[in-house]
Structure 1
């Protein structure tokens, strides 16, 4: 009896060992398996770096391989204008620092891309203009430096609409040509932060930086399935960024999730003594990602801006489905309408402000660059009209060139009664109008389709499947631009053409946390984002 019992115990022990060995082996293999960065979040990449599943050097090599495979060959997305030749050395140094001192932040050793109107030392700042191809800044822009200080790595600079204005050629520049949408190569990636958006969507980096004057972060994010944030005007610095119109310009993140965008926003925002608009920024910056609330929509009251429907059936249907989803989660939804002036602000406000401000602000920026380079708008126009540029493969968009000439002519309007009236009366009155609408209806946010039509045709290739009845598909973006209010766009669905459609949450100044909570709540409940078909994982 005792012998049988002993044998039984031995048998059980053997069975236990046989059972545990494969489990331990599987876990050991999982721990030592190569880390695949494809579609991974900032937190996932940071954990892989902390656990030594990967290194920053390996990450940089991975993204450079993807850029090599997909940017200028294969689908030829054409999002990248320049590779940071120091990225690998920086990654190695940050790996060594992680080992000796630990990570600086969750962004330590994580690669990102930068729109080519941000200054990055060692790389030219062209803003898409071939006239600026040899302009090398002396220091990093404030926001880029904030991210570098947090340990992030600039891996590349990205294409953009020339000098941040598209004039019918979205995502096209004389410096970089045309950026394509990685979801549909017959469609554009919007503008002007097209390159950063396409690069992040295509997994050329973990996140990207863009600038937004009248929709230049939100539009590209919308059509490439990303989360884009236009922060409150003055929350993020514009120092070391080629200006378009400082009354309207902001810098903001583009990322594949609300959480990632929230992490980047907190890292890049803050008071910059060289940008007076940011004097109160540090009082308002929060650790947005740590406080994200997936249940935010259950207790929210939102207004649906009905002014921006009716231009495309698919966009309307997807937006209405998104609103129905919110209601099913407990959100109280009411219809709201903007005033006649507020629902279209380009002609009465944004256009004239941009024309008046561009020349003086642009030339002030040029004065910060080393001696010997281009210093005036007239010089840029002259180079743009030169036979060398006009006869190149990527001449300046003729309409953009006309726009530069208009800005040259209207620079004197900076002191005009019209300009002063817009800045001192039209803009403040618009801001008060939107604040009153929200207060009267007790709203947490105003919701609308980010763009009223899907990603549009490339300027150089007709796509008969594109339908848009809009006078201006970007009109909804102008409200946040004119008021200086924050807006977050988040993926909501896919059009039949295979391009993403997004919805926006907009609110009063410095309500980023609330808007991000609502966007996060929607994102987690729907999870509609898909991977671009033309830049799949090749690992």
Structure 2
């Protein structure tokens, strides 16, 4: 059968793979359609590099395989975008900053390589907040540009994995691989109507789900992780399974699930966001979920005490990546000289001054374990399968190309943008938990709202299964009209 452009753009990752593996859709045709889509929507600045020749060549290799060979590839012909801070040997890994523009590492990150080995096609590198030091993706580097929300190009898409989320939401690609340090996958997913997954990190040892040593331009080895951004939970689970080698999701039914509602993460929300989230909660309750109100009064104090971890670790971790990958600049001082975005220059000035060094050990060895114990006791004592709350306190804010959208209004009060958007996503990251943001609906103004599910460390596949069951009730958002 001949597939129309609209039919191809509507395919989820799982549907696209099934169509290509069964011979109903040629990978070459599908990739060509998406490359044309990317070119037509270049004004969104979702990508820093479009892999036109390489993607078509990879798709041709997939089409040349026998049906049996395609059947053995879990991602046969699936076009993906990879965030521009994740190592790719084919394309640049610039971190969205001028000093690294055009720099190509020698090898792929392990997570990327596993996707490619499974048949995925690298469509391009996704734009991002410069050096991942922000959550708006308002990047002023000449080779990047500010990423624009496809639901309203005058709004931010969230970040720092904003390009991934925009590419997926705008139907430029069915799936992407981003990174999440404090919320960088989940925030843009929430603001663009996508699914964003942060896998378990735990204490960074055996509990770390994705292992990509020296293969991601880092902020914090304690918190950084790669993770999928997709349009459905099933697609996130598909990429997760390929990267980790896990089997099918466990069976989960909503009836009988106990899900906690942590009070600090439901407090002081924008009314439009709270209305959508409460409607989603009622729909899940009608489907059989039992909700449990949970106080966690000490949560935000513990988060504040653990915050020096990222700020201090960037200094050594980013320097180590530059050296290990033989980057064109070898020190943070050199890197900082060409930073294009004013908000990132300000962040880097603080990083280089390293004011949090005296607080780092206490944050890592005292406060972080207390935070992890709080979560462990909450899951055990309250007997909850997961925690649920709005991913962000507000929907997408106006894009300010001059100041990097440094202030936003929440309930009529001016707040620092980064602090406001990170409030609900930082806790899981600080504790090393898995977190999954999925669409809850849209505000009266048509802006996407996400809800997040957090689970115990190591519960990733069950958390994805819970998210998939919730998704069946909440449904998918209508695509943006572009």
Contact 2:137–2:161 at 8 Å: present in 1 too?
no
Q: Decide which of 211, 223, 232 is 2:191's aligned counterpart.
A: 223
Alignment map for 1:267-416 (pairs within 5 Å): 267-269=242-244, 286-289=246-249, 291=250, 293=252, 296-309=253-266, 310-340=268-298, 342-343=299-300, 347-350=304-307, 352-370=308-326, 373-384=328-339, 396-410=340-354, 416=358
Q: Deviations over 1:181-220 (max 9, x none)?
A: 0011221100100000000111111100110001000000
Aligned to 1:503: 451
Contact 1:448–1:503 at 8 Å: present in 2 too?
yes
Alignment map for 1:83-162 (pairs within 5 Å): 83-84=50-51, 85-99=53-67, 101-162=69-130
Q: What do you get for the CA RMSD once the two structures are aligned?
A: 2.1
Contact 2:194–2:229 at 8 Å: present in 1 too?
yes
Q: TM-score, normalised by structure 1?
A: 0.82
Aligned to 2:170: 202
Aligned to 1:258: 233
Contact 1:223–1:454 at 8 Å: present in 2 too?
yes
Contact 1:104–1:151 at 8 Å: present in 2 too?
no
Q: Deviations over 1:286-313 (max 9, x none)?
A: 3244x454xx211200111221233211
Aligned-partner SS, 2:453: strand
- The alpha carbon displacement at 1:173 in A equals 4.3
Q: Deviations over 1:101-148 (max 9, x none)?
A: 334322011100010001111311110101111321000011100101
Rg (Cα) greater in structure:
1
Aligned-partner SS, 2:371: helix
- 2:23 corresponds to 1:56: no
- The alpha carbon displacement at 1:43 in A equals 2.8
User: Aligned equivalents of 1:344 and 1:477: distance in 2?
Assistant: 15
Aligned to 1:273: none
- The alpha carbon displacement at 1:172 in A equals 2.1
Contact 1:128–1:161 at 8 Å: present in 2 too?
yes
User: Aligned equivalents of 2:302 and 2:150: distance in 1?
Assistant: 31
Aligned to 2:216: 241
User: Aligned equivalents of 2:90 and 2:48: distance in 1?
Assistant: 14
Contact 1:292–1:517 at 8 Å: present in 2 too?
yes
User: Aligned equivalents of 1:478 and 1:91: distance in 2?
Assistant: 38
* Number of aligned residue pairs: 462
Q: List alignment gaps of at least 5 residues for structure 2.
A: 202-207
- The alpha carbon displacement at 1:100 in A equals 7.3
Q: TM-score, normalised by structure 2?
A: 0.91
